[in-house]
A and B are shown apart, each in its own frame.
Chain A
Amino acid sequence: MNEPTLVVRDLATHFTLRNGVVRAVDNVSFSVDRGKILGLVGESGSGKSVTGFSILGLIDPPGHIAGGSIKFLGRELVGMAERELRGLRGNRIAMIFQDPMMTLNPVLRIDTQMIETVQAHADVSQAEARRRSRDALGMVGIPSPDERLSAYPHQFSGGMRQRVAIAIALLHQPDLIVADEPTTALDVTIQAQILSEVQKLAANFGTALIWITHDLSVVAGLADEIAVMYAGRIVEAGRVESVLDRPLHPYTHGLIGSVPSRNRRGARLRQIPGMTPSLLDLPPGCAFRLRCARATAACEQDPPITAPGDDRLLRCFHPQLDVAA
């Protein structure tokens, strides 16, 4: 039981385009334990969503998993037959998407979309599948789930739709849920409700969660571990308190500095200079060096992964040890 739910080792997901290969995910390694929440943080285009889709085997051409291993409860997912993967998707590994307005099929009723998920993985009657769907809706806090089952997605608000999507993800009590920015499109009060529901559910069922987000404040309140991605690589990882209190990588530093805070009222917001580099045309060595104040000639080499203590991982030559956030 001590084995982590998910162990990702050296995962590389590439997109072969006409003008080159995009290394959207490049040698990414992390693991998630049972009942734990990993926050996968990064800017748009840092490869965090692609990492999520890689785990579910939902990378479409021209993308493909170029190397590495994804071990889920001891089973290797990379190279697994599509049929077998399909048996896991929605069953043992579920996914929640970013935009609840887009994830539910607009022309199918909620019950259709839920019952088909139940029956895709369990040999049960229509009535039993309906009962399970209703229970799942009730669990995520949708009032009068019996009536709401026969409604269409457009009859729900955004927050309610995301609850439906979460209910669908929970139908088979999966061992792992990949949540791809599920609260980004919702307003803060709804976001808080959903976060607390998810936290409860993960704890109750022992579900491991990967929470993909660009919002550090969400991760701070929700996750146990954090992994910061930049240009397809994890640049820093560790326990949430540890990383957020004592960030070592200049990029993590910049991210934390960009969060508006009450303590710095009136001061100009700090920002990370420059832009995310194009993944088609990454500079050699550390991808962040062009935006980094601490970069030196050494950064033109690939920084190795180091472990600066207490479960921390870091990919930087010049960690920022002096904390002045």
Chain B
Amino acid sequence: MTLWILRRLFQAVLVMLAMTVIVFIGVSVIGDPVEILISPDADQAERLRAIAALGLDKPLWQQYLNFLWGALHGDLGRSFVYNEPALRLIGQRLPATMELAVTAVLLAVLLGIPLGLLAGLYPNSALGRLAMAGSILGFSLPSFWVGLMLIMVFAVQLGWLPSTGRGATVSVLGVPWSFLTLDGLAHMAMPALNLALGNIALVLRLTRSGVRENLPMDYVKFARAKGLSPIRVVFVHVLKNIMIPVVTVLGLQFGSTIAFAVVTESVFAWPGMGKLIIDSINVLDRPVIVAYLMMIVLMFVLINLAVDLLYTVLDPRVRLESAE
């Protein structure tokens, strides 16, 4: 078990290493940050000084090795633009994105599973059909468009919800959080729903097909033949079997939700990591881009690890050791 976790972490380090190489080469191919960062009026001496200060005078491989050396010491470089450590920049934005993504996944669970159960248990009911039809929209409507529509309806027309920003925040452990204030929650409602829409649809359909698949199974009939109540049969016997695929997908989706909150954050001007990375790409702020992508990779690996561990709880037939 411990060996298995260590192995997974080692793989994560390799993936992150590969990521840094790709990003280093990629960013240097796209363009020269110097052209963007240094004012065109600067004279040659100023330019050279600035380039040397950013460490861009050295060949790429040497810059890369310097970066690796720094990374080993927990320093992922300073942002070219903000002149702050890239990690700190991301760390400042991380909580905003995290609370948005966590809320979105919670919404997906709290809405998707009950609706999916409904659609699975009563496939011919009006509500069940409606849920299925709605899930197709949830999949296929582009996220940015839905975001704009939400703003149009709830912020502009009805004026119920604020359209941008995080609203009032409360500081806990030195980190500002929106979900602790009513105003913050009002600000979060639309972006979270927007981000959750695709996940809700996904969880709904997974749950429904799981129910349809499991209901005709012998173990369900046997549970009924034991005289159990329908509630226990559905919520203990069937649901536990369904949770296996749902947890897998949700785990994978959680990573993507964080990584691709970019669109939602842009639409709702939510000051999270997504907005930071878009701005950084625009000005070729390499240290921030690299640090962000490494964070995302690490997060994906950790989430997958958590999902695999959760598997053993949900499905006793899964043995991690056998993966060795």
A interface with B by C-beta (< 8 Å) = 56, 58, 86-91, 94-95, 97-99, 102-109, 116-117, 120-121, 152, 154, 165, 168
Contacts and interface: CB of A to CB of B under 8 A. Distances in A.
Interface in B101-159: none
Contacts of B225: 56, 58, 89-90, 94-95, 97
Interface string B206-244: 000000000001110111111111001000110011001
A86 B218 contact: no
Contacts of A168: 226
A97 B221 contact: yes
B315 interface: yes
11 contacts: A90-B227, A94-B226, A102-B218, A104-B219, A104-B222, A105-B223, A105-B237, A107-B317, A120-B227, A121-B227, A154-B316
B314 interface: yes
Nearest to B237: A105
B228 A116 contact: yes
Given A108-B236, A108-B237, A120 B228 contact: yes
| A-B pairs, 6 with minimum CB distance | A90-B227, A90-B226, A102-B218, A89-B227, A152-B316, A103-B222
Nearest to B219: A105
A168 B219 CA distance: 13
Contacts of B222: 95, 97, 103-104, 165
B269 to A, nearest CB: 44
Nearest to A91: B227
Given A108-B236, A152-B317, A102 B228 contact: no
A97 B315 CA distance: 23
Main secondary structure of the interface of B (DSSP, over half): helix
Given A105-B237, A154-B317, 8 more contacts: A58-B225, A86-B229, A95-B225, A97-B225, A116-B226, A120-B226, A120-B227, A168-B226
B203 to A, nearest CB: 19
Contacts of A90: 225-228
B219 A102 contact: yes
B311 to A, nearest CB: 11
Q: Which of A86, A105, A120, A165 has the most CB of B within 10 A?
A: A105
A51 to B, nearest CB: 15
A109 B316 CA distance: 9
Contacts of A58: 221, 224-225
A117 B236 CA distance: 13
B239 to A, nearest CB: 10
A58 B223 CA distance: 11
Contacts of A97: 218, 221-222, 225
A152 B240 CA distance: 14
Contacts of B244: 107
B168 to A, nearest CB: 44
Contacts of A86: 227-229
B232 to A, nearest CB: 7
A107 B240 contact: yes
A108 B240 contact: yes
Nearest to A112: B236
A185 B229 CA distance: 29
Given A152-B316, A154-B317, A105 B226 contact: no
Given A107-B315, A107-B316, A108-B237, A117 B227 contact: yes
A88 B227 contact: yes
A26 to B, nearest CB: 23
Interface in B268-285: none
A89 B316 contact: no
Given A86-B229, A116-B228, A120-B228, A106 B223 contact: no
A102 B217 CA distance: 7
A152 B228 CA distance: 20
B241 A106 contact: yes
Most buried by A among B217, B227, B232, B240: B227
Contacts of A102: 217-219
Nearest to A120: B227
A120 B229 contact: yes
Nearest to B215: A60
A106 B317 contact: yes
A99 B218 CA distance: 8
Interface in B243-270: 244
B215 to A, nearest CB: 9
A324 B106 CA distance: 74
A106 B244 CA distance: 12
A97 B226 CA distance: 12
A256 to B, nearest CB: 31
Contacts of B224: 58, 89
A116 B240 CA distance: 15
A83 to B, nearest CB: 9
A58 to B, nearest CB: 6
Contacts of A116: 226, 228, 232, 236
A110 B171 CA distance: 48
A89 B226 contact: yes
B316 to A, nearest CB: 4
A121 B225 CA distance: 12
B230 to A, nearest CB: 9
B148 to A, nearest CB: 43
A87 B228 CA distance: 9
Nearest to A94: B225
B241 A107 contact: yes
Contacts of B236: 108, 116
A156 to B, nearest CB: 12
A121 B227 CA distance: 8
A105 B315 CA distance: 11
Contacts of A165: 222
B181 to A, nearest CB: 40
Contacts of A105: 219, 223, 237, 240-241
